[in-house]
């Protein structure tokens, strides 16, 4: 699922205290709204997958280094379902399903190719084919989705990856947002509940 933050029609009361505290730390209101909307959307997405009520789903995150509110998200009480979410200013997306899932949304920067980002993110073979930021960010979102699945690290982004090992779903949002979803099972884009 994906949409603008204002399209996500769900009560902020669904968020945990940790999520609300993290949301309050954003300096820019648009970024706070995107964070909140993404965390609500992942519940709606998981509820659609499970055939459950979104209000009854608790999203948690924990990482050993940064504590609660960080790390790969998961649903309390549903270890068989993986979830992932992403937000960029003005757009949010989420994925839920069996096996590992990862989703990322990024804005394509205007101007000439970002050579510094290309050097970090691309293999030599990929770099030879990328001519602009559209291609660069499309590959970046794929690799960020892999990171969210636990298959890749930022340090290894420029390593070769066998894209046939998983399922890829991509779309673009006009004028400048690219979304990539990588799953273990075939995936389909579904509309945000109205």
pLDDT, tens only, 97-146: 999 999 999 999 999 999 999 999 999 999 999 999 999 999 999 999 99
Would residue 193 count as lying in a domain? no
In a domain, 150, yes or no: yes
Residue 192 lies in a domain: no
Asked whether residue 88 is assigned to any structural domain, the reply reads yes
User: Which tokens hold the place of 184?
Assistant: 């273990």
**19 assigned to some structural domain:** yes
**Between residues 46 and 72, which one has the greater pLDDT?**
46
Residue 188 lies in a domain: no
For residues 93 and 2, the answer to whether their CB atoms sit within 8 Å is: yes
Q: Per the domain annotation, does 67 fall within a domain?
A: yes
The verdict on residue 189 lying in a domain is: no
Residue 63: give the domain boundaries: 2-183
Categorise residue 69: left if φ over 0, alpha if ψ from -120 to 50, beta otherwise.
Answer: left
User: pTM for this structure?
Assistant: 0.93
Number of domains making up the chain: 1
CA 169/CA 71 separation, integer angstroms? 23
């Amino acid at each position: 699922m994906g949409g603008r933050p204002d399209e996500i029609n769900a009560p902020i009361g669904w968020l945990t205290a940790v999520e609300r505290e993290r949301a309050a730390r954003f300096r820019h209101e648009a970024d706070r709204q995107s964070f909140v909307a993404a965390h609500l959307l992942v519940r709606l997405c998981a509820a659609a997958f499970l055939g459950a009520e979104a209000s009854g789903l608790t999203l948690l995150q924990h990482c050993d280094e940064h504590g609660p509110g960080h790390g790969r998200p998961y649903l309390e009480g549903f270890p068989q379902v993986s979830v992932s979410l992403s937000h960029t200013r003005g757009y949010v997306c989420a994925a839920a399903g069996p096996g590992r899932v990862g989703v990322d949304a990024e804005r394509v920067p205007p101007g000439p190719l970002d050579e510094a980002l290309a050097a970090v993110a691309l293999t030599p073979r990929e770099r030879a084919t990328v001519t602009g930021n559209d291609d660069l960010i499309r590959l970046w979102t794929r690799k960020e989705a892999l990171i969210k699945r636990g298959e890749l690290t930022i340090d290894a982004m420029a390593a070769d990856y066998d894209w046939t090992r998983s399922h890829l779903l991509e779309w673009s949002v006009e004028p400048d947002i690219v979304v990539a979803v990588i799953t273990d099972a075939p995936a389909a884009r579904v509309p945000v509940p109205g």
